[in-house]
Amino acid sequence: MSLNAERSYKMKLRDVENAFKYRRIPYPKRSVELIALLAISCTFFLFMHTNKLNSRLKEMEVKLQPSEFSALGLTGNHISGHDAGKHDDINTLHGTYNYLKSTGQLGRVTPMNLNKTRFAGADLVVFNRPTRVDSEQMVPLLRQLAAMNDINVVLNGPVRTMNRTRTEKEQLTESEWASELEGGSIYMAHSNWIDFSGFGLKKPIYISLVKDPIDRMVTDFYKRRSWVKRAINRRTYPGRREKPEEWYRESFNECVRSGSPECRFVQYSVADYIQDFKRQSLYFCGNDADCLPFNSHYAIQVAKQRVEKEYSVVGTWEERNITLTVLEKYIPRFFNHARFLHKLHSKSIRNRNRNNRKPRIDPDVRAIVRRNFTNEYEFYYFCKQRLYKQYLALQFENNLH
């Protein structure tokens, strides 16, 4: 075979191969549409399930955080009932941690930086407790600690009045009396912060508790309507006209919706319809007249400065384990073994001063009241965040046992 003939034969063979390789096979039009529809459906199905899976994985990542949170011992159990599920809320332990991490502040969160106990000049704890913050539940625990840690618990001082502020003479009387208590004493009183140093006295260790502002008002509302309070009033004031039966049966929801003066919380008010101690910040702002206007920005800022500068610990019984941990580690002289004793006697402590009337506050009522507590909530959240920072500092230094 000649060279040209051989080349011609190869070209024909290649043409045949290309014809088979690139041949077009006709498909019915409906089959093509069906295949296209199935392809789009599968793509959409995979997209939806991939998106759902991605969301679930993110939720699991937030809950678990094995590299960081497992080492810190931080779990959802530390988040209070009001905040459960709000993992990014800065007013939760988890949210506070994430905020500190994102702003680069974790390196400065140490017990040394956050512990004011070392600045105290006296071996004395002053626990100026606000009303309706569940501080009564700490009394049996303190008595157990007194026996365990060789400390002295004092519940009654020289000033017994329940006025919203102390006069300068009353402040001097109370601070001088407290300074004379034996070393290792805890003095509990429903009083505002007193500047011991301003009277030339050694600074004590200040501690206190806070509670959700609206929950305080609800507790106070039903406390005044309890059968115990009714019996006390009958015994103390036998000739006084008693409140009508419907007053005792009234709910907080009804009181707010009816516009009753008892359930109005007027901004910047000084004189109140009833002396209900709704100003939680007042216990930290102090006894100046400028601290009295309700929900005022000035009073809140002063109260925050007092907490930051003067108080070793401001906890909340809503986070009792965290509060007791911080008290135990930041003030060990007085609160060593606090967690162990609370766990040991938790049933008797929990039942103390319990109100069996468990009201349900409707969301719209809570929203109405909350609008008048904006600054009070700012102070409350400030105290919680500070408590969380103190707790996290212990976790970072492996001080928990």
The type of residue at 33 is E
- Half-sphere exposure of residue 228, counting CA atoms within 13 Å on the CB side? 7
**Nearest-CA neighbor of 207 among 294, 117, 78, 121?**
117
Query: How far is 39 from 150, CA to CA, in rounded Å?
Result: 78
Q: Which two tokens stand for residue 174?
A: 């109370």
β-strands 311-315, 205-209: how paired? parallel
Burial of 57 (0-12, 13-18, 19+ CB in 10 A): exposed
Residue 182 DSSP label: P
Decide: helix, strand or coil at residue 189: strand
Query: How far is 225 from 254, CA to CA, in rounded Å?
Result: 14
**Nearest-CA neighbor of 193 among 305, 306, 327?**
306
B/e letters for 147-180, b = 16+ CB within 10 Å, e = fewer, are: eebebebbeebebeeeebbbeeebbbebbeebbe
* Cα distances (angstroms) measured from residue 335 to each of 100, 208, 347: 28, 14, 19
Catalytic residue (one of 78, 190, 337, 345): 190
Instruction: Respond yes or no: is residue 297 known to be catalytic.
Output: no
- Half-sphere exposure of residue 103, counting CA atoms within 13 Å on the CB side? 10
Q: How many angstroms separate the first and last alpha carbons of the chain?
A: 97
Q: Which two tokens stand for residue 27?
A: 């498909």
Query: How far is 137 from 219, CA to CA, in rounded Å?
Result: 14
Contact between 358 and 293 (Cβ < 8 Å)? no
The residues assigned a catalytic role are: 190
